Amino acid sequence: MSVISKSVPVNTKATTQCSTDMFTRIVKFSPRFLLALLILPVLGGLISVLLPAFGYAPVLEQTTFSLQGFNALWQTPGLTQMVTLSVATGLISTLLAFIITLMILAAFFNSPWLNRIQRLLSPILVIPHAAAAIAVGFLIAPSGMISRLASPWLSGWELAPNGMFPHDSFGISIILGLTLKELPFLLLMALGVLAQPELGKKLRQQHKVALNLGYCPMTAFFKVILPSLYPLLRLPLLAVLAYASASVEMPLILGPNTPPTLAVAIMHWFNDVDLNLRIKASAGALLQLAVTGGLLALWLAGEKAIKVLFSDSLTNGVREYGGFYWQKITVVLTALVISFILLSLIGLVMWSVAGFWRFPEAMPEQFTLLHFKSALMQMGSPLFNTLAIGLVTTLFAIILTLLCLESEQLSDKPISRFTSLIIYLPLLVPSIAFLFGLVWIQQLVNNQAAFFNVVLTHLLFVLPYVFLSLASSYRRLDPRFAHVAASLGAAPCKVFFKVKLPQLFAPILIAAALGLAISFGQYLPTLLAGGGRIATITTEAVTLANGASRRTSAVYAIMQMVLPLIGFILAWGLPKYFFKSARV
């Protein structure tokens, strides 16, 4: 009797300790794993682009270093135009999105309209770039919604005109598409900062102090809020700039072809049947890296310059810079942005169900579900791929993120600045520059596991967002719950699964929905890592956007929007459902 009662506790203790150790070990190891997972592919990819760029490509039986890739690159007709187009579209769209974001924040700070605008714009976040590009393309096309609404009463057009949009050689369509897509992202990032309990409260109070001191609300925003807000917006801004200067979806769908942006040209060279073009493409990838790097440096220098130029005016006591007119301008601009977005979405939906639709009519004459039916018939395998890749990637990203955040709490210190910067790495390095190198490596290592390669590559882009989305809720978790549980004898493992995870149910679901949305929207990584063999809704949509019928293209773009939307609706709805059942 006594033997049993003694041996049992000893046994349980031994097993708990063992599992505790295992759990703690895994948790403590996870940040290093995260770092490796992010750094190795990006760096490896960059190196594998660097070598061929200088002529070293054993696959092509080139083993001597030379500058032939660069020579070929410089001789490309229109190279200057390509670079100019990339720089101009990237910089102008980022600036526009940023300025409009600031104007909206300044004009509607502390006004109920800010919440309304946020609610209107946040669904845009989940729309993949390709779908947004298709929608904007439809809006500004010669027979698009704008021209239909203006015809014939204003424009006098009875037939669709020969317009320059989209695909205009100045890149205006690209700028429009990128601005409309990045504006909601920046606005929501800023609102996220202002929603932080302590900082947000302090900034709102300081804004009130400035009002009491006689500052017009917009001036108060720029002189009091912006200097504290900007440092927290810098990384998202740089990510937007890097993306805008090197993305391929938007320029492919909205940009000119002769010549296209640099990133699109590089993609064409890489995918050319003439494998020798890959040397030139690698050189191009390095050029893209320099272009994006240069833009980021230019942005940071501009930031410094503005800080120096305006440091005196912060305290010069001027309280009013025509705020009344700026307020009006902002209201008009906001209305314009929102109506642009709404019109593109309405146009998209109408095309997807349109039967016969004569030009100046604003509405189709017949509605039909035929396009949906026929598209859905062919969609089976891309849909399965999209979901499978998205789910596997997201699941992995969530688990890894949770382990890393738990390690932060177990070791009682936040992850290093280095790590938090590295998490942004895949968002700051132009994907076109390292993805091709990564694909070369992947082909060296294993040629067959296309699905695995795609998942791994998606992970690079899903992880940062999942991490950022989960980190704030995880760190805000009241540590006393864990302390109470630990004092009741619960092992770290049990605390994690039984105390922390249930409390984080809702944020985990939101992060999962975000991860899925990011994965669903990936074009270039899917195309490259899958070797063109794995079709998803997004790759199909981009392929269809420039050729096939506008109606089929619309259906695919809508599918691209619906999938992430379902994810988010589930993420919002499930916790309510569960908590409700728990209460009953």
Distance CA 56, CA 282 (A): 11
Residue 307: CB minimum distance to another protein, A: 10
213 binds another protein (CB under 8 A): yes
Residues 84-113 vs another protein: string with x where CB under 8 A?
A: ----------------------------x-
Q: How far is CA 362 from CA 131, 345, 346, 555, in A?
A: 22, 14, 11, 19
223 binds another protein (CB under 8 A): yes
Q: Which of residues 244-283 bind another protein (CB under 8 A)?
A: none
315 binds another protein (CB under 8 A): yes
Residues 6+ positions from 382 with CB-CB distance below 8 Å? 535, 536, 537, 539, 540
Q: Which amino acid is at 370?
A: L
Among 464, 373, 377, residue whose Cα is nearest residue 189: 464
Q: Hey, how many other C-beta atoms are within 10 angstroms of the C-beta on 484?
A: 13
Among 205, 257, 472, 546, binds another protein (CB under 8 A): 205
Distance CA 374, CA 35 (A): 45
CB closer to another protein, 68 vs 206: 206
Q: Which range binds another protein by CB under 8 A, 85-93, 118-126, 309-317, 351-359?
A: 309-317
Tokens representing residue 192 in the block: 């996220």
77 binds another protein (CB under 8 A): no
CB closer to another protein, 9 vs 112: 112
With b for 16 or more beta-carbon neighbours within 10 A and e for fewer, the 536-550 pattern comes to bbbbbbbbbbeeeeb
Residue 305: CB minimum distance to another protein, A: 17
In terms of phi and psi (left: phi > 0; alpha: psi -120 to 50; beta: otherwise), the region of 535 is: beta
Residue 220: CB minimum distance to another protein, A: 7
CB closer to another protein, 221 vs 299: 221
CB closer to another protein, 77 vs 317: 317
Residue 324: CB minimum distance to another protein, A: 10
206 binds another protein (CB under 8 A): yes
Strands annotated E in 512-559: none
Among 142, 217, 293, 364, binds another protein (CB under 8 A): 217
328 binds another protein (CB under 8 A): no
Tokens representing residue 463 in the block: 């992880």
Among 208, 328, 476, 533, binds another protein (CB under 8 A): 208
Residue carrying the six token digits 């089929």: 552
209 binds another protein (CB under 8 A): yes
Helix (H) or strand (E) run with residue 68 in it: helix 68-74
227 binds another protein (CB under 8 A): yes
HSE, CB side, 13 Å, CA atoms: give it for residue 495: 24
CB closer to another protein, 25 vs 208: 208
Whether the CA torsion 437, 443, 449, 450 is positive or negative: it is positive
Among 26, 99, 164, 314, binds another protein (CB under 8 A): 314
Residue 198: CB minimum distance to another protein, A: 12
Q: Which range binds another protein by CB under 8 A, 214-222, 351-359, 407-415, 479-487?
A: 214-222
Q: Hey, how many other C-beta atoms are within 10 angstroms of the C-beta on 407?
A: 20
190 binds another protein (CB under 8 A): no
The CA-to-CA distance between both ends of the chain, in Å, stands at: 44
Distance CA 459, CA 438 (A): 13
CB closer to another protein, 116 vs 576: 116
202 binds another protein (CB under 8 A): yes
The site for another protein, by CB under 8 A, has a size of 26
Binding site for another protein (CB under 8 A): 112, 202, 205-206, 208-217, 220, 223-224, 227-228, 312, 314-319
